[in-house]
Amino acid sequence: MTYDTGFVTEGQISRQPFHPDVVRRELEIIRDDLYCNAVQIIGGDPDRLELAAHAAADLGLEVWFSPYPLELEPEQILGLFRDCAVRAERLRQQGATVVFVAGVELSVMNHGFLPGATPEERVEQLMSPPERRAEAMRELGARMNTFLGEATANVRELFHGQITYASIQFEQVDWTPFDVVTFELIRSAEVADRFREAVRTLVQNPKPVAVTGFGTAAYRGAGNRGGRVLEVVEYDSTTKTPVRLNGVYERDEAGQAEYLSELLGIFETEGVDSAFVYLFALAGFPHRPDGDPQDDLDRASVGIVKVLEGHRGQTYPDMEWEPKAAFAAVAARYQR
């Protein structure tokens, strides 16, 4: 399971508030009720990452310590990695099983690898014009591998456990300096007919293969959109926080559950070593069942729980969220 501690953009942290007792309780639920044995702790604040990682380790979970830089320059990313590597090694020295994830989709989510001011602009620049796409991807691969070589060298000075990177396939990562091969792998309608075969090909790598970043939202048709699942959300132009949906989208928790169950089944039967559902809960996308359907941001949330506003749930009366159907689907797959 992937667990969000808060994304940092322009000094603002997406998850507020952040209480240690809530973090530990949620991780306990991930272990005991979802039957997970590993958790990917993501976020942009090193203190929060370390707090959550310690709580997970105390519960006996394998920890994937995953700093998630957003809109940073390469030197800033290296600084974040070095800070987090010290913290991850401290945890590993205490006996925890820790894998360090040296970033997620760096080329799209940060500066210095692709032209463009936003992730959408960067992807558009890479994919068009079509006649130059292959060359553009080769150039990106060269830039990425130069940076990742430097990043792994920095991390290994301070952290002595296994290292990976959560990649997009078009980044063309050279996996030589890494211990685990990791892909952000999202199924869309365009690739659904060949998705299983693609996974089968990826696991031929001699190193263990992990899959991260896979998930979908709880509106009808979301699973067909793949990585474009959040395009239905309108954001505040200044704060970049989600405001409402750009149309009326029918709630489809069963569709989200089926999508996750199918992908987990594929990963398990095709020999993927580790798979991390994205995401447990997504801050800023509250469930608003009683008003305008366009205000119900949870329909677009990839979280497997729906975040409540100002009140607690019924299934877990101590938590301000309620499980979706996807929660039960994940639990059912791994319950022994």
Share of the chain above pLDDT 70, in %: 100
Instruction: Give the pLDDT score at 336.
Output: 59
Please determine, for residue 92, whether its predicted confidence score (pLDDT) is greater than 90.
yes
Do 281 and 307 touch, CB atoms closer than 8 A?
yes
3-class DSSP state of 162: strand
Nearest Cα to 48, choosing from 7, 79, 78, 76?
7
Indicate the pLDDT class of residue 65, thresholds 50, 70 and 90: very high
Provide the 8-state DSSP code for 71. Answer: S
What average pLDDT does range 312-327 have in this prediction?
A: 98
Helix axis angle, 20-32 relative to 46-58, nearest 10°?
Answer: 40
- pLDDT tens per residue across span 196-230: 999 999 999 999 999 999 999 999 999 999 999 99
Q: How confident is the model at residue 11 (pLDDT cuts 50, 70, 90)?
A: confident
Rounded mean pLDDT, 156-160: 98
Question: How do 209-214 and 233-235 pair as beta strands?
Answer: unpaired
The pLDDT of residue 111 is above 70: yes
Q: What is the mean pLDDT of residues 170-185?
A: 97
DSSP string, 81-119: HHHHHHHHHHHHHTT--EEEEEEESHHHHSSSSSSSSSH
Assess whether pLDDT exceeds 70 at residue 302: yes
pLDDT value of residue 334 = 83
Q: Concatenate the DSSP letters of all residues of 243-307 into one string.
A: EEESS---B-HHHHHHHHHHHHHHHHHTT-SEEEES-S--TT-B--TTS-GGG-GGGG---SEEE
* Summary mean pLDDT of the chain: 96
Q: How far apart are CA 248 and CA 79, in angstroms?
A: 42
- pLDDT (tens digit, 9 = 90+) per residue, 25-36? 999 999 999 999
The single residue listed with the structure tokens 């080769």 is 138
Q: What is the pLDDT of residue 237?
A: 86
* Residue among 98, 96, 94 nearest 66 (CA): 98
> At 181, which helix (H) or strand (E)?
strand 181-184
- The stretch 313-336 carries a mean pLDDT of 94
Q: What average pLDDT does range 134-139 have in this prediction?
A: 94
Residues 211 and 186: their CA atoms lie apart, in Å, by: 9
Rounded to the nearest 5°, which phi and psi values hold at 71? 55, 40
Task: Give the Å distances, CA to CA, from 268 to 184, 231, 262, 272, 334.
Answer: 16, 29, 10, 6, 11
Q: Which residues of 7-25 are buried (b: 16+ CB within 10 A; e: fewer)?
A: bbeeeebbbeebeeeebbe
Distance CA 235, CA 211 (A): 29
Per-residue CA distances from 293 to 231, 254, 288, 297 (Å): 16, 18, 8, 8
pLDDT (0 to 100) of residue 239: 84
Q: How far apart are CA 305 and CA 217, in angstroms?
A: 11
